[in-house]
Structure 1
């Protein structure tokens, strides 16, 4: 099994299928993507000046900035999920400092939730993002020992702030790493949706949980994605679970084909098939449901990347190309990790190549 994409996923080996445009005598050469990377920022949400400053402060050891930012999110589950993840990532290696602060402010649920999330990310950093077969026995022992210590602070956060969905989102990643029984993982999901039935990153974690690489199957993953899209109200970006499921499937399928010794052309041919036909029609239907009455959402940029990235795989379809251009022209200079980290290498460079392929202006 492979480390989850949204919480510490590592480099993925895949083949990026790019259409080569004819190079006329007077056509300007495309710039090397590596020379353009500085124009972009990583993130699936709009630029947040306060969060950026807080992340930098926490990384420098000034934890009070993180406490203030989290304290502002108790009535906004999506914002809380976003900030919790960013601040936990910034605090990797500083969990003991957060624990000391939580001991002093023992009635603050933000600190306990942050501590638990940080420990989970520290554990995944120890494990690495590769498949389980690439992780040695000793590293697994340290991983599990570290990860297990996240449970108590997360439970304290739950007790102090029962309405909070954030600890349950973290517990889903905790449960995957600890190889908890499926019944336990399902329970975490039920607790999360009881508090926030539309949490974007919660649905992302659930899709990973029911995927073939973890506790489910391809069929169960697609059933979850399709059911989510069907149940989502018109205008909800949760329909983006459909293209996400297709990317997850292709990651698994491509690895199978590579292991079977299939050549590059066979991979390209299969990729075109997987991102066309009935699969393309399904994604278009999910896209149409979102776009028909699009409701502003914190993770709109992330969903635009998923839909746009899917369509960019099959621009021989004129409508798909137009849809790719429409979605990717709305993300500005913000680059979400998915789907561009499914292609190996640097996600920003992969995104720039697609912008060039689609002849979209660079920021």
Structure 2
């Protein structure tokens, strides 16, 4: 009895392998957790392709756990007359009906050979008992689909190219990240489009400009680059063009914040770009760019600019009735390095 209690206690602990979404593999039960829908979609699509390649007779069924009809899961996972393999994908498990929860808990206790059950759970505590049960299984896997932070988008984009044995210029990647930072699926689609149209092994800045120049030229990073370099007229033209075509004020201010903070971190430091990258974080090319951008800036100007960015961030996130005015003020002050009225 004591041993049984011990096993029960241990089973609540997450113990199944955590698998990267690019490395999905078959398992009796696959838990796809986390809020990033792009990663989840890619993982499930990859699993479906893999299983169908193994056996073209694969039957694929989808169900919605939030509007579940009792008995549906039992019907879908049951072997057919000819024993074709089955893939059953349960969406919105975070909003599960009690009936699905009960049947899924019973199923994971005794999975059916030849059937793969995918459970998509994006967030929240609803269905936690089922998640704990899956995580205690000896042969299930979990694909954690967490949202990326802004400073992780560069590496994600590089990985998209590396996954197809391609390279990309750092400036080209930065341009893509700046243009598509608000939507991971769009960013990945842009990478894949460029690889399909370019016969070169390396994706260049020129080809990014050719296909996505209109999107790139009015991004927050493009505006910040111009303002920090002191190109006042160009920066104002870009920000007004961007705002007129629907560019949100928040990512513009975020771009200024990222660039100015990195400039402050490397200001006055000695050593190679690679050495500083290990110390302050970031890629060596980003460190090199930040060091070049600090030329002509004083410590006082950098500090004033960062304080103005903090103020602008508050203004564009509800602190002002005119976030556009706050952004234009930020661009003007940074480009002219005039913080007397800030």
Q: What TM-score do you get using the length of structure 2 for normalisation?
A: 0.28
Q: What TM-score do you get using the length of structure 1 for normalisation?
A: 0.27
Based on CA coordinates, which of the two structures has the bigger radius of gyration?
2
Structure that is richer in strand per residue:
2
Q: Which has the higher contact order (CA 8 A, sep 6+)?
A: 1
